[in-house]
Chains A and B, each alone.
Chain A
Amino acid sequence: MVRTHTATYRTALRLTNTAKEKMRGFGISERSFFVGEKPFQVFIERYPSNGDGSLSVALIFGGAETLRLAGKGLDGALVVHGIFTNQQLLVTNLTLRKAYQALGTNWQREETIAFDQSREPASAALLNLINRMKPAKESSDYVKKRIGSWEGYLKIQERGMDIPDIKTGYSKLVFSHDFSRITLTGCQLKDAEWKTLKNLTVRLTGITGDVGTVIKAANRTIEVELQNHMVKQVRERALALDKKEVVFSNFAALSQIRRLRQGFGNLEKGLAVNPNLDRILFEEKPPVKPLQAPEKLAFHNRLNEFQQKAVSGAMRAEDLYVIQGPPGTGKTTVISEICLQNARKGLRTLVASQSNLAVDNALGRLLANKDIRILRVGRTESIEEEGKKFIEENVGQYWKDHTLKEITAQYEKRQQREPQLVSELATNETSYAELEPVVESLAAAIEDKKKAQAQHRELQAALAAAQNKRAAFAVQKDKAVQHSDELAQTLQRLEELIRNDLEVAGSAKNDEWFEGEKQRISARVGELQNALEFNGLAEQLKDKERGAEELAAQQEQAAAAVGKKQMAQGVLETVKKVDGLLQLMAEQKIEEVPSITYGLNKLETNREKMNEWAKLNQYNETITAAIAYVEKSAAPLGVAVDDVKEGALSQPEAFTSAEIDGFMEKLRTVLKTAQRNDPAVLKKALDSLYKRQNNIWRRGAKLKTAEAYVEDSKRAFQGLKKALSEQFEKQLQQYEAVEQKWLERLEQAREAMAPLEQRCQQLKPAGEIPEDIGAAIRQLNAELENLEKEQVAYAEAGQRLKKHQNEHLEQSEALEKNKVRIAELDAEIKRVDEAIAGHEQGAASLQDILSSTPEEEYERAAKQLASLSFARESLKQEMKDLPMLQSIQKKWLDLLEGANEHDLDEIRKMYIKHANVIGTTCVASARKDFIDNYPEFDVVIIDEVSKATPPELLLPMLKGKKIILVGDHHQLPPLLGNDTLEETLEEMINDNSGFEEKRELEKLLAESLFERLYKNLPDSNKTMLAIQYRMHEDIMETISPFYKLENDQLQCGIADSDAERDHLLESKTVSRNNHLMWIDVPNEPASFEERMSGGKSLYNAAELQEIRGLLVEMNGAAAEAKRAGRMAAQELKSIGVISFYGEQVKRLQRMLDQELRLPHLAVRTGTVDRFQGSERDIIVLSMVRNNDNKHGDIGFAKDYRRLNVALSRAKELLVLVGSSDMFTKRAKQADTRAMYQHVLNVVKEKDGLKALESSRR
């Protein structure tokens, strides 16, 4: 893809160390990027952005640029990898890309970039450009993922592909009777090789080229189907095959698959001419661009509305347009028209199809038009007769033929032109002479009319003015009348007001009365307010008295408390004991001040010391007695008492009272036992006793005597009493102060009451006082207010009255004036009305002349005159040119007629150079030489799309800017090799070849690419051709249901089916008005289907016999038709005998070859699948299936698409031969039965159902 570039982008460039090292490795100097600041032409590929979002790119240098950069050729294209950091290009690595990898793919952009060493950021335009690019890897991955779903097709075809050529001898080679096949026996092959033979191509030593394809290899016998174009050679070389050597090869098939794979690869690499192709093919909603604005097309063919829509849609579409073409709807006409329209626009079109036959059919029906230069590209031997004239070596001849034809026609036409010209000129002049005066008189009439029009316009203007005036007067009068009404109303209102005011002003109340009333009410209000104050004061006085009484009670209470205290003071003097003091303190709530606490503690301590002293005294007595006792006992036993005493006293110890008690108890017990005589015990006891005695003595020494403590306690008690007495005194003083306080407050209260009592005395009310004084005051105030308002109203009414009386006077005057004005206006109106009547009369008198229309007539006549004059000029010119043109064309004719190959050679070359409609098969469009010659097309039209697999379709699609698909998904899907898809699948399952994706594959095959695109495209990008011109309408009715879900219903475009589709035959079975028949074979064993032993295909002998009879009958009928002059003597009725089953077709053909001679018929046989795309006058369909097995199996016949094809081949007459019960009642699926039932219903309706001829049974 070459794009034109204008902009040069600029970017600074820096290199990482890795990159620098790589450059040195390649022997490139860093500086070479910057030499002369000359820009480089590079291909930019974007990579997914880094984590930090910086742009990552590869700049690929093509061969020439790499050479410039490196200063030498490198083995590939140099790729500079870099990222844009801080908007500067940092080169991170350099690599070499293999030279064969494509440059300029859709994922790349070719741009001109200049590098520099500055620190400036790269141009924003460059960054934006890269930002907008889709990363190459993502795009490529997307395609790879989607295209994976198409792999299935290739997988089927690739089964067992990988085998080398097999060369072997054979012992015997047998040609079939018609040289269509050969059978080889005695081949030396390994067992494994036998299995791989099917579908391999076959070469025989002694014959150049592939002779054919293996169709069967079993029982050591190989059957080969010969290619048509090889038959001649084989017939010649049949005797010369001495070497008996054969080579089996799958090279052809492999190279085909390789091309299909290459198509996948190219799409992945982004090598489609239309950069959106992948998305259009794979996205659920194909993202097609909106159509271009419509333009007026001049159609060369006569097209119906649907065909016109298809052609203009296809011309307007930018990228994809899909045409759904049911049988016989003129697809080729549409293709032809599109090719022509493209040619006129200078566009080059590729017409591709799956098979050579379809390509040739399409090209053969294209127009012979000088604008269209058709070239058929492909292997000459596989091109059919129709396409042959368009191959390179024949296009010169083709061009000559059609140019000669055109020129001859023109030349001959012009030869008769001269006399015609003379007479035309004469006629022209006569007509001119006649027409001229007519035109002049018409011109005068127009002038008169113009005058009248001017007069009329004046009158109209005056009339309009008068009418305006009248309208103005009317408006004025209306206004005056309205004004009078208003005035009368105003007067009435005023009178009313005056009446009201008079009522007010005339009442008895006046200003004096109002003042008196006001004074009276004010006085009463004063009285009531005094009473109100008195009541308040009396209340206050009562409150004060109550307060004084309370204070007196308080004072008495305080005096009593003082008395009580004084009594308690007396009691204190008499108390003798501490307990008594404590009780008194509690009773009188005496606070325990420190002096009291001290006294109490002192008394307590003294009591304790006295107790201890008594106790020690007691212990001393006991221990002393014990010592005496023990000393007495011990001394005789030799215990040294003094020593013991001394020892004990030398170690003083302390003992508690409890311990002493315990010891004494223990001692007493010991001394009661025999131990009392043990000196050691006694010694120890004695030691212990001394120690305890010593301890007690020491403790006793610390205490005073008991008498001293008693004396001390007496002193403490007196002190305590004194302290208490002080406290009492203090309390008493407090109580007295309280009493004094109350007394003072009582005095104050009594003084405060005196003025209140005085005021009360003054205010004591004299008159009658109501209970609720407040309400009475409020009421009086309200009365006062009303009175004031009334007084104001009284004053206002007086003023108003004066004003209204004045107004009344004025208005009355105005009313009088207005009445005069109305009378004046009436007079004016009358005058204007008279004027209007006068104008109208004047205008009416002009009406006749105005309504005449000489202009149109004049225009017509003038135009005619001009065209006559123009025609005369061109006739004169033609007259002048004629001999010259004739002489030149004559010369041209002579040259053309005498032209030989040499003369046409240049033309042939030019024709090829300027060829604008190229036809080839899908697969051939991917051949290398084709790609080299035709890398891309403006438009690619693919015909019979539904018959090609997606991988096949992809190949031509890759080459087109715009793609137009033509097909019909209600007809049969692609064949794979010789087999239908179902057969292939069945075989694969039987082979148990481990093909696991069967289910996936079935899904894939269930819906075609065409169907999906057709369904998902917006309405603007698709059309169904809904008018068919092939079938008699009766026949068409059988297939209508297959298209009933489409937007448009299938219609018959033949105006009179019975006349235009008359088959002309009349026989016992078939009558002239039969166009649709079903010869019903009974569902009985005698008519059942049969299977060849060992074969998989079915046949039906009963149907064969029936068809034999039918054909004989038709042959006779054709002979009769010729005798009756309905058919030309040389004419042959074209008949197709077709069947769902290959074996039946084989037997039909044998029957035709061997048992029948039908000189008036041109009979062709074939399977329904093979007949797709063909048409015949009459079709006989042998349905074969007829059985009584439980499943009601009807095999391939259940596919509605196959039935559709079978039913839609006939133009004039369709005869079904088969069991209606089998298909409409016994078939397994309900919808299958319904499908055939519809056919049967239409047949019955057309009176075409016939029972099997009994004579033929």
Chain B
Amino acid sequence: MEELIVKLRLTAAENPDVTVLKEQVWKLPVVLYDVKISRVKRLKMDILMKMLLFAFQERDIRRAATLADMLFVEELFISDSIDKMERTRLIGLDKKGYALTAKGHDYLEKGIFEEEMEPEAAQIVYSAVHDDYDLPKDSETPEAEESLEPYRYAVKGAVKKERIQKLLSDRPPESDEQGFQIITTDITSCIEHSVAHVPCIEFQLYDRKQDIFYARVWNTASASWDEKLEKAIEAREVMGWRRAMEKQAN
């Protein structure tokens, strides 16, 4: 840690015009949640094609335009899909309109059919300050020492289900079974597991030449200079730093 701070200080104050006014380490709280999700497995099937199969099953339709109005979908898309389904013999045109072939019925059934899967448990990390949802890092991130001050502008935020669901849905698929996909259908539970504390190293800096006060905050979890935290501190404190310095000068 000390080593890191030295390196960071060197980098932050590499410019000879810049002096470090203050340097401190504190902890940023992030919350770990245990999340349970329900999942289903179903055949990958194009949404428009599925809808068209439904529609043809329900109603006598001859013209793509009729569907275009009903579904508010460009007629070209519908024509393309119809062509494709005719080519693959999922549908055929009879006197009343398009009708599903036996193959079509079979296909639609498969598309609708969803295999319930075992619910899955997962863990996510939520930083309220950043409004950021993430999966826990594989690598070990240093846990802040108890003694450290917490981040002075920490906020409490409530997690949003959709964001969690999106995060988990966007994970790369596991073993990809041919033609099937696993879909996260719902978050069944979301329980706060613990609060982790990410150590952050803050430098308050002054650029003499430009007469500029600014902050640099190293976030050890993301291993980067954290813009969000820097901006938050600057917005609240920069004017104070200036006043303090002017006072000192007087």
Contacts and interface: CB of A to CB of B under 8 A. Distances in A.
B11 to A, nearest CB: 6
B211 A1154 contact: yes
Interface stretch (B20-28, B67-75, B94-102): B67-75
B72 A406 contact: yes
Interface string A112-126: 000000000000000
A239 B7 CA distance: 8
Contacts of B11: 238-239
B47 interface: yes
Nearest to A402: B72
A1154 B70 contact: no
Interface string B29-46: 000000000000000111
B196 interface: no
A1155 B238 CA distance: 8
A1150 B242 CA distance: 13
Contacts of A905: 46
A1153 B212 contact: yes
B214 A907 contact: no
B102 to A, nearest CB: 22
A407 B67 CA distance: 13
A183 B207 CA distance: 14
A607 interface: no
B224 A235 contact: yes
A177 B212 contact: yes
B235 A1157 contact: yes
Interface bin, chain A = 35 or more
Contact of A895 (B51, B77, B211, B222): B51
Interface in A153-182: 172-174, 177-179
Given A178-B214, A888-B58, A1154 B205 contact: no
Contacts of B234: 1153
Contacts of B211: 1150, 1154
B48 interface: yes
A243 to B, nearest CB: 15
A246 to B, nearest CB: 15
B49 to A, nearest CB: 7
A900 interface: yes
Interface string A1147-1168: 0001001111100000000000
Contact of B70 (A888, A896, A1150, A1155): A888
A403 B58 CA distance: 21
B225 interface: yes
A899 interface: yes
Given A178-B214, A888-B54, A1154-B238, A895 B74 contact: no
A907 B47 contact: yes
A888 B77 contact: no
Nearest to A913: B80
Interface in B1-30: 7-8, 11, 14-15
B192 interface: no
A1154 B73 contact: no
B139 interface: no
B212 A239 contact: no
A406 B74 CA distance: 13
B14 A174 contact: yes
A896 B51 CA distance: 10
A197 to B, nearest CB: 20
B161 to A, nearest CB: 14
Chain A binding surface SS class: helix
Contact of A1150 (B48, B77, B210): B210
Nearest to B238: A1154
B48 A900 contact: no
Contacts of A895: 47, 50-51
Interface string A215-243: 00000000000000001100110110000
Contact of B74 (A172, A231, A370, A1157): A370
A898 B112 CA distance: 12
A1154 B239 CA distance: 6
A900 B73 CA distance: 18
Contacts of A236: 222-225
A672 interface: no
A65 B83 CA distance: 35
Contacts of B223: 236, 239
B77 A910 contact: yes
Contacts of A914: 74, 76-77, 80
A887 interface: yes
Contacts of A1150: 210-212
A340 to B, nearest CB: 13
A892 interface: yes
Interface in A895-920: 895-896, 898-900, 902-907, 910-911, 913-914
| Most chain B CB inside 10 Å of its own CB: which residue of A173, A373, A906, A914 | A906
A215 to B, nearest CB: 16
Contacts of A239: 7-8, 11, 223
Contact of A1154 (B8, B54, B68, B212): B212
A1049 interface: no
| Most chain A CB inside 10 Å of its own CB: which residue of B49, B71, B222 | B71
A1153 B238 CA distance: 8
Contacts of B238: 1153-1154
Nearest to B210: A1150
B153 to A, nearest CB: 15
Given A373-B74, A407-B71, A1150-B210, A903 B47 contact: yes
Contacts of A670: none
Contacts of B210: 177, 1150
| Most chain A CB inside 10 Å of its own CB: which residue of B44, B73, B242 | B73
A914 B77 CA distance: 8
A891 to B, nearest CB: 5
A826 to B, nearest CB: 83
Given A179-B225, A235-B224, A902 B44 contact: yes
Given A238-B11, A884-B58, A403 B225 contact: no
B224 A906 contact: no
B225 A910 contact: no
A1155 B239 contact: yes
B55 interface: yes
Given A239-B8, A887-B58, A895-B47, A177 B214 contact: yes
B189 interface: no
Given A910-B80, A1153-B238, A1155-B242, A884 B72 contact: no
Contacts of B214: 177-178
B149 interface: no
Nearest to A178: B214
A174 B55 contact: no
A912 to B, nearest CB: 11
Nearest to B49: A906
A903 B45 CA distance: 6
A232 B223 CA distance: 12
A410 interface: yes
Contact of A370 (B8, B55, B73, B80): B73
Nearest to A911: B77
| Most chain B CB inside 10 Å of its own CB: which residue of A177, A235, A236 | A177
A371 interface: yes
B103 interface: no
Contact of A891 (B7, B54, B183, B242): B54
B169 interface: yes
| Most chain A CB inside 10 Å of its own CB: which residue of B46, B58, B226 | B46
B227 interface: yes
12 contacts: A173-B14, A177-B207, A177-B212, A177-B214, A236-B224, A370-B72, A884-B59, A895-B51, A898-B183, A906-B49, A910-B81, A1157-B239
Given A179-B227, A891-B51, A891-B54, 11 more contacts: A172-B14, A183-B15, A884-B58, A885-B70, A888-B71, A889-B71, A895-B47, A903-B47, A910-B80, A1150-B211, A1157-B239
- Smallest CB-CB A-B distances: 8 pairs: A906-B46, A236-B224, A177-B214, A903-B47, A174-B15, A235-B225, A406-B72, A235-B224
